[in-house]
Amino acid sequence: MEFGFNSNFFYYFEKNYHTNNGDKMKILITGAGSNIGFETGIKLGKLNHLVYLTVHHDYEVDTVLEKVKELKLDNNIKCFKLDITNESDRKKIRKLDIDCLINNAAIGVGGSMLEIPIDLMKENFEVNVFSTLRLTQIYLGHLFANNKKGKVIFTSSIAGIIPISFLGSYCATKASLITIATVLKREIKLLTNNIQVKLIEPGIYNTGFNDIMLENKLERKSSYFDDLESISLKQKKLFELMGHDDLDSITKKVVEAVLDNSNKFLYRAPLLQVIMTKLYMLFFK
Ligand SMILES: NC(=O)c1ccc[n+]([C@@H]2O[C@H](COP(=O)([O-])OP(=O)(O)OC[C@H]3O[C@@H](n4cnc5c(N)ncnc54)[C@H](OP(=O)(O)O)[C@@H]3O)[C@@H](O)[C@H]2O)c1
Domain-wise residue ranges, the chain: 7-284
Mean pLDDT of 213-238: 87
Q: If you measure from the C-alpha of residue 104 to the centroid of ligand 1, how many angstroms do you get, rounded to a whole number?
A: 6
Evaluate: CB of 269 within 6 angstroms of ligand 1: no
Instruction: Express each pLDDT in 105-124 by its tens digit.
Output: 999 999 999 999 999 999 99
Listed in sequence order, the residues at least 6 apart from 279 whose beta carbon sits closer than 8 Å to its beta carbon are none
- The minimum-distance atom of ligand 1 relative to the CA of 212 is 20
Q: Is the alpha carbon torsion for 244, 276, 40, 60 positive or negative?
A: negative
Mean pLDDT of 159-170: 96
Q: If you measure from the C-alpha of residue 271 to the centroid of ligand 1, how many angstroms do you get, rounded to a whole number?
A: 21
Q: If you measure from the C-alpha of residue 37 to the centroid of ligand 1, how many angstroms do you get, rounded to a whole number?
A: 8
Q: Is the pLDDT of residue 10 over 90?
A: no
Q: At what angle do helices 35-46 and 248-259 cross, to 10 degrees?
A: 60
Evaluate: CB of 128 within 6 angstroms of ligand 1: no
Which of 139, 170, 205, 267 is catalytic? The answer is: 170
Outline where DSSP puts E strands in the chain: 26-29, 50-55, 77-81, 100-103, 150-155, 195-202, 266-269
The rounded percent of the chain whose pLDDT value lies above 70 is 92
Mean pLDDT of 171-200: 98
CATH class in words for 7-284: alpha beta
Atom 39 of ligand 1: nearest residue by CA position: 56
Question: What pLDDT shows up at residue 17?
Answer: 39
Instruction: Express each pLDDT in 16-42 by its tens digit.
Output: 433 334 479 999 999 999 999 999 999
Please give the DSSP secondary-structure letter assigned to residue 102.
E
To the query of whether residue 170 is one of the catalytic residues in this protein, the response is: yes
Question: What pLDDT shows up at residue 60?
Answer: 98
Question: What pLDDT shows up at residue 253?
Answer: 98
Evaluate: CB of 106 within 6 angstroms of ligand 1: yes
